[in-house]
Amino acid sequence: MSVTESLEPKEVFKYFEEISAIPRPSFHEEKISEYLVNFAKEHNFEHYTDDLHNVIMIKEASEGYEDVPPIILQGHMDMVCEKDPGVEKDMEKEGLDLYIDGDFLKAKGTTLGGDDGVAIAYALSLLTDETLKHPRLEFVCTVSEEVGMEGATGIDVSMLKGKKLLNIDSEGEGEVLTSCAGGGTAHIALPVKRERDQQSGAVVELKLSNLAGGHSGMEIDKGHGNATLLMARFLVHAESSVRLRLIEFKGGSKDNAIPREAYAKIILPYKKEVEILRNRAEHFISHIKAEYGAADPDVTFELSVKDESEWDKDARELTRESTDKVLAFLSALPNGVIRMSDVLPGMTETSLNLGITNLDKQNLNLGFSVRSSKGSAYRELITRITYLSEYFGAKVDVKGEYPAWEYAEVSPLRDTAVKVYKEMFGKDLKVVSVHAGVECGILSSKIPGLSAIAMGPDIFDIHTPKERLSISSTKRTYEFVRNIIEAK
């Protein structure tokens, strides 16, 4: 039985449920791409795909709209796959478990993929709506948006005729995006040394969890704690009382998501130091709850001692020097909001987020999502990270860079959206900028003279298992998009 069959718009939620059954993490979009290609074939739409699995569909204008300029509909097919602790779903192989909670559509224990499943559901519904009066519609659906916009960077758009682009990859009803930050991902590898120095003492596992997390662009100014850096902070705090060595250290699962949990395994030279560590942990979590009480009210810290029978006798801890270097490096790296905008009050200009951390046999590996609406500020922050990393002996590799989408003084599509919204709802549409990557910047560089806007229904807590899509907002926003398309 369909979960969404009672919801309106019926076709929108039907398609959303269909794509939710298809696993689509970044870099694993083959199945959703195949679904879209088959959809295009079934409806006899002109369509294109490429080696990256991007998909383009084209539907010619309806009668009376042949001379109206084409409109490009655009979104991405990948989603951030986060899940609650203890959820065993393999999101590379299994679809989502949708359910309705009042006005919200959610997924059990995982992200919902409203970012950007909404774009696909809207586009497919619009393309198959025979009552819609429309110019030529060109639907562009890209891959790997969440991990550096590689799909938009690599896609060939030479077959497109449109100069108006409606991107459906925003999460706030009643507002339209007209500019965004540029950015990239900095991958850092800090060499470490290991040794097997102790045959006694205590092995302790530490887990910091239940932080709010969130999107590293949209939520970076909300004051949410970064679990990885808070774990490093505790270890630095503990080192003043106990002689710990790192065995394992990891946190986060996506570069563009604020880490909600972090894990460390350490070894202490003496069992008696465990109680000292426990006391330190109690003091630490009390301070963290006092500091982050509003932003992260549910934060928890767990400490467990491994019995000697559970020790991995082949595991080699970091040397004293490497342990100190790792903790010093993590403590020295910048993170969070670097500068707020001087032009747009309340808007973040420049930031970075430590997303993925993993300590392997040879390196501490870090992944930073770096963003800025100013190119010079972005380059300066990359230089700062690189300089500091190289001082510690680490290597830096910057990938997935994308340009900022700059505000256009003249935008016919924006003017149409503002006019239609006023007519529909009797109030002004908010024109805003966003501190997150939007593919409009890349596509604007590929299509000279492009007039672009981005919008979407209300989606809350994206990139977290708390993600929820407003059902009523989905309906209102769909009608808004529909009226924009029909406007001449």
Q: Return the HEC string of 264-332.
A: EEEEECCCCHHHHHHHHHHHHHHHHHHHHCCCCCCCEEEEEEECHHHCCCCCCEECHHHHHHHHHHHHH
Instruction: Please report, as a single letter, which amino acid is at residue 441.
Output: G
Residue reference for tokens 């393309």: 127
Which candidate, 164, 167, 75, places its Cα nearest to that of 410?
Answer: 164
Give the three-class secondary structure for 133.
Answer: coil
d(CA 401, CA 148): 7
* Torsion angle, alpha carbons of 33, 34, 40, 43, to 10: -140
In terms of Cα–Cα distance, which of 250, 299, 303, 249 is closest to 276? 303
What residues are labeled active site?
A: 78, 145
Distance CA 97, CA 101 (A): 13
Paired strand residues for 351: 337, 371
Q: How far apart are CA 214 and CA 408, in angstroms?
A: 29
Q: Is 85 exposed, middle or buried (0-12, 13-18, 19+ CB in 10 A)?
A: exposed
Peptide bond into 116 cis (omega under 30): yes
* Coil/strand/helix, residue 5: coil
Which segments of 374-452 does DSSP mark as H helices, in order? 375-391, 412-425, 440-446
Q: Give dist(CA 24, CA 112) in Å, integer.
A: 11
CA–CA distance, 222 with 297 (Å, rounded to integer): 13
Q: Residue ranges of the alpha helices (H) in 5-113? A: 10-20, 30-42
CB burial of residue 122 (10 Å; 0-12, 13-18, 19+): buried
d(C-alpha 213, C-alpha 99), whole Å: 22
Helix, strand or coil, per DSSP, at residue 391: helix
